[in-house]
A and B are shown apart, each in its own frame.
Chain A
Amino acid sequence: MRETGLAGTPGQNVSPTLSRRRVLQLGAAALPALCGARLLAGALTGSGVETARAADATAPADGYDPSAHSWAFAVDTTTCIGCGRCVDACKQENHVPAEPEMNRTWVELHVLNQDGSVRVSAPDGGIRGFPTEETMPEADAADVRDAYFVPRLCMQCENPPCTWVCPVSATYKNADGVVLVDETRCIGCGYCMVACPYGARYMVPAGETTPKGVAGVVDKCTFCYHRITRGQLPACAEVCPTSARIFGDRNDPQSAVSVALNERRVRVMKPGLGTRPRVFYTGLEGEVD
């Protein structure tokens, strides 16, 4: 058996489908194919998801330069009272699905017992507060060493595992430190959801939409990007009655968060994973995360 190379030798038409002529023909067909690909790419990548909400008259502050800011969050668990106003405000500000199992931010109750065990609870994410009877019944009062509330949100990590793993580069870290999701590119695979060590992401179910009117993509806390670019606070920080949530620009030494971080001893959650969160906690005990 004498097989020759793919192109064959002169005079020997071994594989008519793979001759030089065919290869050249394929090459010539590439140009219209690329043009077609361009049109198809435009049609299928879902451009034009502007909704009435997005195309609103109130535009963000002109000249907002993302690289001039470095947004950060400080959470004081010694003052949080677990009222859940933040959870409610976030749901209304950001069109978060009404389902109780989908929250961009939530509050947890951490109960540390004398024997060292920790009980964490978050009824409906804390949106209706933590009724004492339900969450801290009399029965275990003697066993409890300490109990406090821990507000949770996306950590907007400096080294986010979620952006590393997205197969289509749909989630990205902006220059001002906020991690956002490009809803026109997200394929809904959920990889970023399993990659997040803090459980900050959820998939928008059919029947609900993101603030931009899309379903089936991943959504998460954006530090209320549309508010902070206008000089406002995120909704959760705005409504917190006890100043447990402090937000600001670390590039500004006078900002509330810079002052708070300078004055307090803070730590981040799961520091060993190397994610370098931008959300700093005061008052956490060692047993937590």
Chain B
Amino acid sequence: MTRLRDALARRRPTSRRGAVKAFLAGVSIFAVLLVGVVGIAVIVPWVYGEYGFHPEENARTWAALTPQYADTAVCQRCHEPQYAAWKGERHASVSCESCHGPLAEHAATAPVVAPAGSLGIVLPDASLCAICHEKSPAKPAAFAQVDLAEHYAGGECLNCHDSHSADAKKPPEIPHSLARLPECITCHAPAGLKPIPNGHVESSDAACQGCHKRPTAGQ
């Protein structure tokens, strides 16, 4: 502490000339700081100029990006049948692109008339249905969900359900007894007694009977 006091004592001016000098030194330091601050405030914008920090400009560049997803109203312009089936039905809360992916570019560039299936849009299959409709304790109880092991296991969702209106046509049950009959495919071949509808895969008895359940009473 004595050292500090001595140091300060030595610096204290001892004559009027010294006092004036000290005062001028203080004023000039203050003036330099003032000029420095004002100078920086002026020079920095000049140096950095339009490269300075202008968030509004950057926000505009974010706003100028191109959307990849369109609105359902845009889809309606060309796809009226699907739109009519979808609107007002149980899937009406699911937007077109929720299943069909981003389509803004398609909507902007597709020719007015194009053969169905020619534009390479992803047509979702049953695995997409399962993502929403597989039964899970975490989903709200009121939401339509099925245990896939028990709900026509082995069948294709889209065989019975219309994807846009979500209407389900229950598959007709097997009306006749199965006792002492050959395999289903023997009679229900594509060109056979009762042809297999489109969309059905030629497969084993178990696959057919997964959806076309046998009547429970007797065989």
Q: Assess A/B contact in the complex (Cβ within 8 A).
A: yes
A-B contact pairs, 26 of them (CB 8 A): A41-B47, A41-B48, A42-B49, A56-B64, A56-B65, A58-B66, A79-B143, A81-B132, A85-B131, A89-B69, A89-B97, A92-B102, A129-B130, A132-B136, A147-B138, A180-B55, A180-B59, A180-B62, A212-B62, A224-B67, A226-B65, A226-B66, A235-B69, A238-B98, A242-B93, A242-B143
> A residues 241-264 with Cβ under 8 Å of B?
241-243
Q: Residue B182 at the A interface, CB < 8 A? A: no
Q: Residue A275 at the B interface, CB < 8 A? A: no
> A residues 135-168 with Cβ under 8 Å of B?
135-136, 141, 144, 147-149
Q: Count how many pairs of residues, one from A and one from B, have CB atoms less than 8 Å apart in the complex.
A: 150
The residue in chain A whose Cβ has the minimal distance to the Cβ of B142 is A79
Point out the residues of chain B lying under 8 angstroms from A92, CB to CB.
68-69, 101-102
Q: Which range contains the number of A residues in contact with the other chain?
A: 35 or more
Partner of A132, one of B56, B93, B135, B140: B135
Is there an interface contact between B55 and A174, defined as CB atoms closer than 8 Å? yes
The interface on chain B, measured as residues whose beta carbon lies within 8 A of the other chain's beta carbons, has a size of 42
Cα of A79 to Cα of B102 in the assembled complex, Å: 24
Point out the residues of chain A lying under 8 angstroms from B135, CB to CB.
132
Is there an interface contact between A82 and B47, defined as CB atoms closer than 8 Å? no
Q: Mark B51-72, 1 if CB is under 8 A from A, else 0.
A: 1010110111111111111010
A contacts, CB < 8 Å to B: 34, 37-38, 41-42, 45, 47, 50, 53-56, 58-60, 64, 66, 78-79, 81-85, 89, 92-93, 109, 111, 128-132, 135-136, 141, 144, 147-149, 169, 172, 174, 178, 180, 182, 184-185, 211-212, 222, 224-227, 229-230, 232, 235, 238-243
Is there an interface contact between B68 and A47, defined as CB atoms closer than 8 Å? no
Q: Residue B94 at the A interface, CB < 8 A? A: yes
Q: Residue B161 at the A interface, CB < 8 A? A: no
Q: Residue B139 at the A interface, CB < 8 A? A: yes
Is there an interface contact between A111 and B51, defined as CB atoms closer than 8 Å? no
> B residues 101-120 with Cβ under 8 Å of A?
101-102
Q: Shortest distance in angstroms between B71's beta carbon and chain A's nearest beta carbon? A: 7
Beyond A85-B131, A132-B136, A242-B143, 14 extra complex contacts between A and B, CB < 8 Å: A34-B47, A37-B47, A54-B61, A78-B140, A89-B69, A92-B101, A92-B102, A93-B67, A93-B69, A129-B130, A147-B138, A169-B53, A178-B59, A184-B58
Point out the residues of chain B lying under 8 angstroms from A149, CB to CB.
138-139
Q: Residue B88 at the A interface, CB < 8 A? A: no
Q: Shortest distance in angstroms between A252's beta carbon and chain B's nearest beta carbon? A: 19
Q: Residue B167 at the A interface, CB < 8 A? A: no
Cα of A141 to Cα of B113 in the assembled complex, Å: 53
Cα of A79 to Cα of B140 in the assembled complex, Å: 6
Is there an interface contact between B102 and A212, defined as CB atoms closer than 8 Å? no
